[in-house]
């Protein structure tokens, strides 16, 4: 270092120090810029992850709702079919009772409590 100072002028040394300081300053600015870009990328990545998770949950909820609606529809349909079958069975039973009453000569009024003998 002593030899450097002996061979060069003093002003050149300070210019070199200023160049180094300027390089450090520019390097710091570039590092800060790179850090902010990296943080922005991290935020975007996290946002994409959160959006994907919310979409997945929304799809699952929609699937559950659709499945529940289908089960409700099937349950209502089964109840309606059961009611129709029960009504048909009641109609068939009533017809059978009417035929039995006619065979035995009894007037059938539709209810067992109101059966009157016609003979």
The full length of the chain comes to: 119
CA distance 32 to 76: 65
Question: Which pLDDT band, with edges at 50, 70 and 90, does 85 fall under?
Answer: very high
What local confidence, expressed as pLDDT, does residue 104 receive?
80
pLDDT (0 to 100) of residue 110: 62
CB of 52 within 8 A of CB of 45? no
Does 10 score more than 70 pLDDT?
A: no
* Average predicted confidence (pLDDT) for the chain: 86
Name which of 93, 88, 85, 89 is nearest 111 in CA terms: 93
pLDDT at 115: 47
* pTM of the entire predicted model: 0.49
What is the full DSSP assignment across 50-99? Answer: HHHHHHHHHHHHHHHHHHHHHHHHHHHHHHHHHHHHHHHHHHHHHHHHHH
Residue with tokens 């270092």: 1
């Amino acid at each position: 270092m002593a030899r450097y100072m002996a061979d060069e002028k003093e002003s050149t040394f300070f210019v070199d120090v200023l160049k180094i300081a300027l390089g450090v300053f520019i390097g710091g600015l570039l590092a800060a810029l790179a850090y902010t870009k990296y943080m922005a990328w991290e935020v975007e990545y996290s946002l994409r992850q959160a959006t994907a998770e919310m979409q997945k949950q929304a799809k699952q909820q929609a699937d559950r709702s659709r499945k529940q609606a289908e089960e409700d529809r099937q349950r209502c349909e089964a109840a309606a079919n059961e009611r129709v079958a029960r009504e048909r069975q009641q109609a068939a039973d009533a017809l059978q009772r009417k035929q039995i009453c006619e065979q035995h000569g009894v007037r059938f009024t539709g209810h067992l409590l109101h059966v009157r003998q016609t003979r």
